[in-house]
Amino acid sequence: MTEKRVSFTLESTLESVNLAEEKTEKVSAELGFSDEDCHRLAMSVREAMVNAVLHGNAYDPKKRVTLVFEHDGKKLTITIVDEGKGLDAALLPDPLAPENLLKQSGRGIFLMRSFMDDVQIRNLKPGTEVKLTKSVGAEGAEEAREDEKQ
């Protein structure tokens, strides 16, 4: 990826979720992320896209999701914006609370926060913006430091 910023406007469909996941795999591989980080990035985008399409836009064919990739050589930032009613992240239930452990949903944001260096969620009133950031080469730098110690 030679561009510093690439943007897509997607429909509120599961096909768009799959397309966003595929684009993320491709972009992250081109930027030199490890296979594991490519998978984590793609999964984080998939979770954010499912939230945008299902919870945000409620599959409304008139509403769109914007997917933006930005990189500055040090980090990749992926922004997903829906046109739904908006989300207050402070009101989300804790997925690790005993009463939520067996629920089928509610872990997407938890996974994003586990896989990414930074996750920001902003209520746009209307709409929700999810900004995912991952440092480029962070894993490789950590492995190099470990090799130096040995």
Model pLDDT, residue 107: 62
Residue 149's pLDDT band (cuts 50, 70, 90): very low
C-alpha 48/C-alpha 16 separation (Å) is 12
What mean pLDDT do residues 25-41 have? Answer: 96
Q: Are 44 and 36 in contact (CB under 8 A)?
A: no
Amino acid of residue 83: E
Nearest to 115 by CA among 34, 52, 58, 57: 34
Model pLDDT, residue 87: 73
Strands, E assignment, the chain: 5-11, 64-71, 75-81, 118-123, 128-135
For residue range 6-17, list pLDDT tens digits in order: 999 999 999 999
Instruction: Decide if pLDDT at 76 tops 70.
Output: yes
Q: Is 69 helix (H, G, I), strand (E, B) or coil?
A: strand
Can you list the domains of the chain with their CATH numbers? Answer: 5-149 (3.30.565.10)
Instruction: Decide if pLDDT at 147 tops 50.
Output: no
What mean pLDDT do residues 80-109 have? Answer: 69
Q: Is 60 helix (H, G, I), strand (E, B) or coil?
A: coil
Q: Are 127 and 136 in contact (CB under 8 A)?
A: no
Instruction: Decide if pLDDT at 148 tops 60.
Output: no
